[in-house]
Structure 1
Amino acid sequence: MKFRLILIICTIFCGVNQVLCQALPPVNPQLLKSAWPAFWITSPANQQREYGVYHFRKTFLLPAAGKPKSFLIHVSADNRYRLFINGKAISSGPARGDLFNWFFETIDIAPYLTEGENILAALVWNMGSLAPVAQVSNQTAFVVQGNSAAEQMVNTDVSWKVKKSKAYTPCALDNGERLKAYMVVGPGDQVDGKLYPWDWETLEYNDASWNAAEELTHPQPVGYGTDNLWTLAPRNIPLLKESILRFPVIRRTNSIKVNKDFLTGKRPLTIPANQRVSILLDQQSMTAAYPELIVSGGKGSRIKMTYSEALFDKQDNKGNRNEIDAKEIKGNYDIFIPDGEGNRKFRPLWFRAYRYLQLDIMTTDDPLILNDIYGMKTGYPLKMNASFSSNDPSLQEIWKVGWHTAQLCAGDMYYDTPYYEQLQYTGDSRIQALISLYTSGDDRLMRKAILDFYHSRTPEGLTQGRYPSNRLQIIPTFSLFWVSMIHDYWMHRHDDAFVKQFLPAIHETLEWFHNRVDQKKKMLGPLTWWNFVDWDNFNDWGTAPGAEQGNSSIITLQYAYTLNQAAELFRAFNHPAQADYQELLALELNAHTYWYCYNEANGLIADTPERQTYSQHAGIWAILSGAVTLQEGQTLMKKILNDKSIGQVTFFYRFYLTQALKKAEMGDLYYKELRPWRDMLKMGLTTFAEKPEPTRSDCHAWSASPDYDFLATICGIMPGTPGFKTVLIKPSLGELTEVTGTMPIPAGKVSVILKRNGKEGIRAEILLPEQTTGIFTWKGKEVKLHEGKQIISI
């Protein structure tokens, strides 16, 4: 029975990728269909929806029979927790969700237990009104539930002790104002060492003065309960791990000399009494980590730790990210005030994203010893299971930096940017998910994103533009990308049960647009909400012309493109009438948009029927939606690539520009379109930016698309049929003469070695997994592929 339950959970949460799916710890079936015996607990006599940091403790005895082989517990908190067993930190959570799907972690704590007395402790915090926008909340609370009767001795109830910390106060509350940017990751932490209950998580600490926890309510799982504060669901992604990351270099100091051994932890650094000292550390690449600072002495000192992606000159320009002369740091920060004792460790509650970290230290009468400083790198455990190389070695740096960008933008959900927002947007997530599938083969974060947006739907039928989120934001174009994301999953994974559940929601989303079709012009009429398309075009909000007034060719054609994808889904799941209706509507929208917006004089698709403005975006969607024939699409593509007077795509929409190149059989031009990424590398960026200079974010997920396109476009590896049951290999080498690529698919790995043979020919060595077939196509010629190794010469 236990094995069967593990297998069921693995299938539900990991899809069909059994290679990547490690068996999740089993959850007692009774806990998934009824109230838990444990209680949600909180701190008594405190404002439970306000900012607060809390320490929870529970001591318990293990029987003399010895340490158990397994001791499973289920843990969650609002907002978040960090769990300790016998003084050792073992996990953090929960993964972000919403009140209808509040995730809990299942952890086997047996390896950390000892015979006799043990201590289970948790640091729990609620940012209140200062919480990140991605953080949904009800009130401060914590829960632990033992998996069976053997573990229920640790269940949260009044036997737990709790103390509200007086050491924490929020700081860096003006980040957005100082950076002149939208920044919603929450406040920094100011910690007063003399008020902190040091060693509180250990058995030796005396908690006699602490309060008994207050019981709130019994937890309820999804599908149960009548008065739920949170509805619990098992975590559906792996736990995030941490690993130490040392600073490689000190770039600048003020009023002090620092030995390089300080950065390796071999030699402490003493800051004399009554000094003001500044030390600028350079990680030399962007990272997401918990900085940990260990100090001794320095009672009353003040240590400010400022984190930044880059330094700024007096005009607030970043310039080359490697250069620091005449530049200063500004950004999110934390403050630690030591209490004067030895080996005090400061660590912020939440991770920080940074390349540069500056220590600004002010001592009083007591010298301060910096024992050590380093980062504990964290993030979703994406693993590289693909490879790419070519005769152009510069592509390797783009591949490497793209992968680094994708890693930093993956945590307990996909992040648009780890520094400024840490929000999961549909438009970003579609591209991120494809990168994940192609480079790692891991589909779990993609599945979570699809489900998160499914849970975000509003009564109108649209998904929210970003989710989880404690603020409502609807971007209708992003609801269309959600449908595209489901279509992507269907093409790359054989998982019919998962896909089928979304068909009613897909229909509702598409009907929202259908109900807004201008019946006279047969284009979309006026649309509500934020109809974002792309930055650096249109208006300050990236809104498509005609979105609010009606008859936007860009959004109408994107709608038609999405209708065609939906039709494939509905036809595959035995809804032929619905599929026919969607295809006919797409044809009608395409035909009328082309009629009203195509300008024969300049050969372009206008943004609206008034033909006052033109953009690459309109042409891209005309090609992708099928509004133009192949020949017309090729002519149109040449126009939009060469005419710099029209609205240009930024990094986000370069993904769709590449898709349009492939649809127009012009994929060989992709290699020439890599200049923006080359330019970013020349500017010293170690991750890819949100948009061309000047950019807010130096690390933005949608700009990592080359890691998908090097395999899907240059190598040309794509699913030939849904579920990647067959493979289509259609290379677009451009000026490249040699390319090698390997990537995971559900059946195994696909490998290609491609070498040009003269000007028009090619020699291809291809390896397909067992029981996998496909087609290789090169300049109009097709060759059938079989499992195993084959050599093709054209």
Structure 2
Amino acid sequence: MSRPIATVVALVLVLSGGPGNTDPASAAPPAAPSEWTARWAAPADASPFAYGVYHFRRAFDLPTVPARFVVHVSADNRYQLFVNGTRVVSGPARGHLSAWPYETIDLAPQLRAGRNVLAAVVWNLGEHAPLAQHTWQTGLMVQGDGPAERVVDTPSHWVATRNAAYTPVTVDFATVRGYWAAGAAERVDGTQYPWGWEQPDFDAAGWSPAVAGPPARPREARDAASRHMLVPRGIPLMEERVERIARHRETATAGIPEGFPAVPVDIRVGARERRRILLDRTLLTTAYPELEVSGGRGARIGVRYAEALYAGPKGNAKGHRDEVAGKTLAGYGDEFLPDGGARRVFRPLWWRTYRYVELTIETAAEPMVVHDVRSVATSYPFEQTARFAADRADLDRMLEVGWRTARVCAHETYMDCPYYEQLQYAGDTRIQALVSYFMSGDGRLARQAIEALDASRTFEGLTFSRAPSRLPQYIPPFSLWWIGMVHDYWRYQDDEAFVRAQLPGMRAVLEYFAARQGPDGHLRDVGWWNFVDWVDAWPNGVPPVGKAGESAPLDLQLLLAYQYAADLESALGARAQAEAYLASAGQLREAVRRRYWQPERRVFADVGDGSRISQHTQALALLAGVVDTAEQAALAGRMLSDADMAPASIYFRYYVHQAVVRGGLGDRYLDLLGEWRRMLDLGLTTWAERAEPTRSDAHAWGASPNIEFLRTVLGVDSAAPGFRRVVIEPHLGALTRVSGRVPHPKGFVDVRLERRGSGVEAEVTLPAGVDGEFVWGSERTPLRAGTQVIVK
């Protein structure tokens, strides 16, 4: 009998690193090979574009164990590489054909003297692939780093075969009750599976020699020999960690041993028996579910995944997320058909998102034993280095839920939601990147996002709304938020060379918008989908447009972008260009005040005739400095109290809350988190996309409190590019004691605050070489590196 696949599961953890040094200077890509000698390898007699799962093997001999054996690996769509039966790396990181990542790894720890075997599984989901997955044609590329390692270059002496066990299970809107873009699920027929294919002693005599494809070439090679323009992976490997599913929730518990599934215990399913078992992870996760069984030839095992259960057969009403009685599970799922072998482990090729897992088991003539159901959780390896503590327990819970949301929405890219779409939208990602800066200090995934969106930019100047994405979608306001992302990165990450490289793209975006400004400065006929926020009164999230084609939210986003661009050009680019952007900003600022200000109501309208108003327009006007200082607090107050204003959703409240602070009402911030408290009351363990009823239970644009607990309440913010100066301006509200730590490019900023009547006692520690100021009301106190105590 072949060695069961279960024996390799834990070994994937070997190369699952933490975030490491997040200094951009230390994040240089690994060295490329001294010479590119490999070619892409493909399986024989297989369509290069259609759905398929393939295995590759290369056996070779070594006289001794080498001290170093470095290879560069990539594939289309994806791969997992094994060395002598041990899984060592998965990839490639998501990218696009003009910048196709490869992983660099030292295989020496897994090698031995004598016979060695490299084995890979490569899959191309074809038309069933996730929308974020770019592709050209099925292939594997292994390139030895130097002469000694080139013995394993593809395709020489590699053999390959198609795994006939896999077929796609399509997922549609009706299946999951919402828009779906995350690709197909899997049906795996164990009777067709080549068990043990990755093991050194597997007999691959029936496999065919791999077919040579185009030469492997790096990006910027003289001649493009392949559509895959190879670049080193710019982010760390994903974290993987074994986690247990906490409990089962089925009402009929007969035959379910005590402890299952929190501990591995056998469940015996008799011949011709049907079982349904509802499992509850108790919190939402992104993980590879693993089902280990023996026997059961001819059985069918369905595994369905859901973020929550639904209150009825239609709609998105879910109720309290802990409740299961009388509810319905609607979700996508995989299907596994056992072959009757011992200790077979079924694990999908791609991770799944779930809190609830429904197992449906139908046996045939042969009984089956379910040994274990477990999870291998995966996400980008962010490490939380921030700390926040206050004399209110609900804030701790919010911080925890927000960080979990950020983690499950961060993988090889940021993702709007891990269940439905898995797409990196600029509007979402700006907030997600800021969460990363404040909670971990790690800017590498944000660099990836900025580059991916920049690479998506068309000849007209707009970026895609999301990248990577096989299908174009344009949301012009998201191109403006991309400029905001670059500006944020410049403020919080010490990496001027990278920011400077984004200036041409920024200019192209602004040229698109400048061409659509009228003589008075207002935008007209922007085109495409001008989504701003999910407001019930705004069709498809598009704000009102006046009779002359004007829209205050769009004008104000452009104004902010001009201001960001002027900052960046002044510091890193062309002084004349900075002055031009300032002039454009000045013209637009005055145009906004003239057209949209309503002197009787003392608010800005969304359109020129004053008929529509929204929180969005007030927030953007405050952030863009359109409001005179004397009016700011009053306008911020009206933004919060005027019931006629279209309200901001969870997403756009990030900007509303910033505007509250800009208006001098930062001490009210903690009173504005009612929607987040309602989500906690409903048992959510991650923040939802929208207020109830919501499609997605995990949308990281809702994690903005993780930013503001540190930036607004604790008060720590950047006061110069690269965080080279620090400003600390706390807004304690009703709190009496707050302490925390914020990661900084040179270490950490530590703050302890305690109210003293109407004043405060603050202990502040800044990293070496960093200064700043402490602000309390109208008083400003200089700060220096090291520890100091301020009493106000």
What's the counterpart of residue 3 of structure 1? Answer: none
What's the counterpart of residue 199 of structure 1? Answer: 196
What's the counterpart of residue 511 of structure 2? Answer: 511
Rounded to whole Å, the distance in 2 between the matches of 1:402 and 1:98 is 30
Deviation at 1:179, TM superposition (A): 2.4
Rounded to whole Å, the distance in 2 between the matches of 1:276 and 1:771 is 67
Matched, 1:344 2:344: yes
Q: 1:290 to 1:618 in 2, by over 3 A?
A: same
Rounded to whole Å, the distance in 1 between the matches of 2:137 and 2:251 is 43
Counterpart contact for 1:53–1:165, Cα < 8 Å: yes
Rounded to whole Å, the distance in 1 between the matches of 2:510 and 2:707 is 27
Deviation at 1:585, TM superposition (A): 1.1
Counterpart contact for 1:14–1:444, Cα < 8 Å: no
The letter for the 1-side match of 2:517 is V
Aligned with 2:171 (options 174, 197, 208): 174
Q: 1:755 to 1:135 in 2, by over 3 A?
A: same
Rounded to whole Å, the distance in 1 between the matches of 2:524 and 2:508 is 18
Counterpart contact for 1:72–1:107, Cα < 8 Å: yes
Q: Deviations over 1:112-168 (max 9, x none)?
A: 111111111111101101110000000111110111111111111141111111100
Rounded to whole Å, the distance in 2 between the matches of 1:715 and 1:261 is 43
What's the counterpart of residue 180 of structure 2? Answer: 183
What's the counterpart of residue 599 of structure 2? Answer: 600
The answer to which of 212-221 and 580-589 deviates more is 580-589
What's the counterpart of residue 228 of structure 1? Answer: 226
Rounded to whole Å, the distance in 2 between the matches of 1:371 and 1:22 is 42
The letter for the 2-side match of 1:162 is A
What's the counterpart of residue 781 of structure 1? Answer: 779
What's the counterpart of residue 150 of structure 2? Answer: 152
What's the counterpart of residue 243 of structure 2? Answer: 245
What's the counterpart of residue 359 of structure 1? Answer: 359
TM-score of the pair, normalised by structure 1: 0.95
The aligned runs of 1:330-409 (5 Å cut-off) are 330-409=330-409
What's the counterpart of residue 16 of structure 1? Answer: 23
The answer to which of 425-434 and 540-549 deviates more is 540-549
Rounded to whole Å, the distance in 2 between the matches of 1:430 and 1:553 is 21
C-alpha RMSD over aligned residues: 1.5
Q: 1:445 to 1:547 in 2, by over 3 A?
A: farther
Rounded to whole Å, the distance in 2 between the matches of 1:323 and 1:445 is 36
Q: 1:549 to 1:403 in 2, by over 3 A?
A: farther
Deviation at 1:284, TM superposition (A): 0.4
The answer to which of 101-110 and 581-590 deviates more is 581-590
What's the counterpart of residue 88 of structure 2? Answer: 90
Deviation at 1:539, TM superposition (A): 3.0
Rounded to whole Å, the distance in 2 between the matches of 1:549 and 1:333 is 50
Q: Deviations over 1:630-658 (max 9, x none)?
A: 22222211111011222100111111112
The aligned runs of 1:286-325 (5 Å cut-off) are 286-314=284-312, 315-316=314-315, 317-325=317-325
Deviation at 1:718, TM superposition (A): 0.6
Q: Deviations over 1:336-368 (max 9, x none)?
A: 000111111100010001000110111111111
Deviation at 1:15, TM superposition (A): 6.9
Aligned with 2:161 (options 160, 163, 172): 163
Rounded to whole Å, the distance in 1 between the matches of 2:219 and 2:21 is 19
Counterpart contact for 2:500–2:573, Cα < 8 Å: no
Counterpart contact for 2:24–2:494, Cα < 8 Å: no
Q: 1:371 to 1:79 in 2, by over 3 A?
A: same
Q: 1:390 to 1:15 in 2, by over 3 A?
A: closer
Matched, 1:482 2:489: no
The letter for the 2-side match of 1:185 is A
Counterpart contact for 1:730–1:778, Cα < 8 Å: yes
What's the counterpart of residue 216 of structure 1? Answer: 213
Counterpart contact for 2:264–2:373, Cα < 8 Å: no
SS of residue matched to 1:763: strand
Rounded to whole Å, the distance in 2 between the matches of 1:253 and 1:504 is 61
What's the counterpart of residue 676 of structure 2? Answer: 677
The letter for the 2-side match of 1:396 is D
What's the counterpart of residue 9 of structure 1? Answer: none
Matched, 1:271 2:269: yes
SS of residue matched to 2:638: helix
Deviation at 1:563, TM superposition (A): 0.6
Matched, 1:544 2:543: yes
Counterpart contact for 1:307–1:353, Cα < 8 Å: yes
What's the counterpart of residue 754 of structure 1? Answer: 753
**How many residue pairs were aligned?**
770
What's the counterpart of residue 622 of structure 1? Answer: 621
Q: 1:787 to 1:174 in 2, by over 3 A?
A: closer
Rounded to whole Å, the distance in 2 between the matches of 1:203 and 1:492 is 48
SS of residue matched to 1:83: strand
Deviation at 1:538, TM superposition (A): 3.9
The answer to which of 468-477 and 43-52 deviates more is 43-52
What's the counterpart of residue 62 of structure 1? Answer: 62
Deviation at 1:536, TM superposition (A): 2.6
Rounded to whole Å, the distance in 2 between the matches of 1:264 and 1:489 is 42
What's the counterpart of residue 728 of structure 1? Answer: 727
The answer to which of 422-431 and 537-546 deviates more is 537-546
Q: 1:17 to 1:23 in 2, by over 3 A?
A: closer
Rounded to whole Å, the distance in 2 between the matches of 1:44 and 1:207 is 15
Rounded to whole Å, the distance in 2 between the matches of 1:256 and 1:101 is 54
Rounded to whole Å, the distance in 2 between the matches of 1:547 and 1:374 is 56
Q: Deviations over 1:186-206 (max 9, x none)?
A: 111100000000001112111
TM-score of the pair, normalised by structure 2: 0.95
What's the counterpart of residue 8 of structure 1? Answer: none
Q: Deviations over 1:555-596 (max 9, x none)?
A: 101110111111011111252221111112112112112211
SS of residue matched to 1:749: strand
Deviation at 1:226, TM superposition (A): 3.0
Matched, 1:27 2:32: yes
Counterpart contact for 1:73–1:109, Cα < 8 Å: yes
The letter for the 2-side match of 1:283 is R
What's the counterpart of residue 80 of structure 1? Answer: 78
The letter for the 2-side match of 1:354 is Y
Q: 1:548 to 1:53 in 2, by over 3 A?
A: farther
Q: Deviations over 1:378-420 (max 9, x none)?
A: 1100001010010111100000110111111110011111111
Rounded to whole Å, the distance in 1 between the matches of 2:548 and 2:485 is 28
Counterpart contact for 2:305–2:333, Cα < 8 Å: yes
Counterpart contact for 2:546–2:607, Cα < 8 Å: no
Counterpart contact for 1:255–1:276, Cα < 8 Å: no
Rounded to whole Å, the distance in 2 between the matches of 1:348 and 1:742 is 39
What's the counterpart of residue 4 of structure 1? Answer: none
What's the counterpart of residue 13 of structure 2? Answer: none
Rounded to whole Å, the distance in 1 between the matches of 2:254 and 2:181 is 35
Counterpart contact for 1:301–1:361, Cα < 8 Å: yes
Rounded to whole Å, the distance in 1 between the matches of 2:286 and 2:177 is 22
Rounded to whole Å, the distance in 2 between the matches of 1:23 and 1:286 is 34
What's the counterpart of residue 114 of structure 2? Answer: 116
Counterpart contact for 1:527–1:549, Cα < 8 Å: no
Rounded to whole Å, the distance in 1 between the matches of 2:546 and 2:500 is 31
SS of residue matched to 1:381: coil
Q: Deviations over 1:595-639 (max 9, x none)?
A: 111222222211111222111001111111111112222221111
Deviation at 1:22, TM superposition (A): 7.2
Q: 1:260 to 1:247 in 2, by over 3 A?
A: farther
Rounded to whole Å, the distance in 1 between the matches of 2:568 and 2:351 is 40
SS of residue matched to 1:731: coil
Deviation at 1:253, TM superposition (A): 4.9
Rounded to whole Å, the distance in 1 between the matches of 2:547 and 2:243 is 49
Unaligned 5+ runs, structure 2: 1-19
Q: What is the identity percentage for the equivalent residue pairs of Structure 1 and Structure 2? A: 41
Counterpart contact for 1:305–1:360, Cα < 8 Å: yes
Rounded to whole Å, the distance in 2 between the matches of 1:425 and 1:483 is 13
The letter for the 2-side match of 1:411 is H
